[in-house]
């Protein structure tokens, strides 16, 4: 997984599957919350931050987006985004 995190093919994170280059941000944050390795956890968070601060989009922060070019899929903002706060629940 580390190779995918540092890959130029997916600058905005790890895709859901190898078939489609889409990512669910809340699942990535859940995954980050489970890592004991701080570097891996921080790298996952950085990919989410990269999409949140992507200046070429005027849309809400999407639930699902393309990890190559940040194109938002049909899903927009969702209550599921509450999963983004998973790391806060650990404190």
Q: What pTM does this model have? A: 0.73
The pLDDT assigned to 77 comes to: 64
Contact 67, 11 (CB under 8 A): yes
Residue 39 has pLDDT above 80, yes or no: yes
Q: Cβ-count burial of 31 within 10 angstroms (0-12 exposed, 13-18 middle, 19+ buried)?
A: middle
pLDDT in tens, 53-67: 876 766 777 788 888
Task: Report residue 45's pLDDT band, with 50, 70 and 90 as the boundaries.
Answer: confident
* pLDDT higher at 41 or 58: 41
- Percent of the chain whose predicted confidence (pLDDT) is above 70: 77
Question: What is the three-class DSSP state of 8?
Answer: coil
């Amino acid at each position: 997984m580390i190779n995918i995190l540092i890959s130029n093919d997916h600058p905005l994170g790890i895709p859901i599957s190898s078939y489609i280059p889409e990512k669910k941000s809340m699942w990535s944050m859940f995954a980050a919350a489970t890592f004991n390795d701080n570097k891996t956890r921080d790298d996952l968070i950085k990919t989410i931050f990269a999409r949140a601060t992507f200046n070429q989009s005027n849309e809400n922060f999407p639930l699902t987006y393309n990890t190559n070019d940040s194109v938002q899929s049909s899903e927009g903002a969702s209550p599921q985004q509450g999963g983004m706060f998973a790391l806060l629940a650990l404190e």
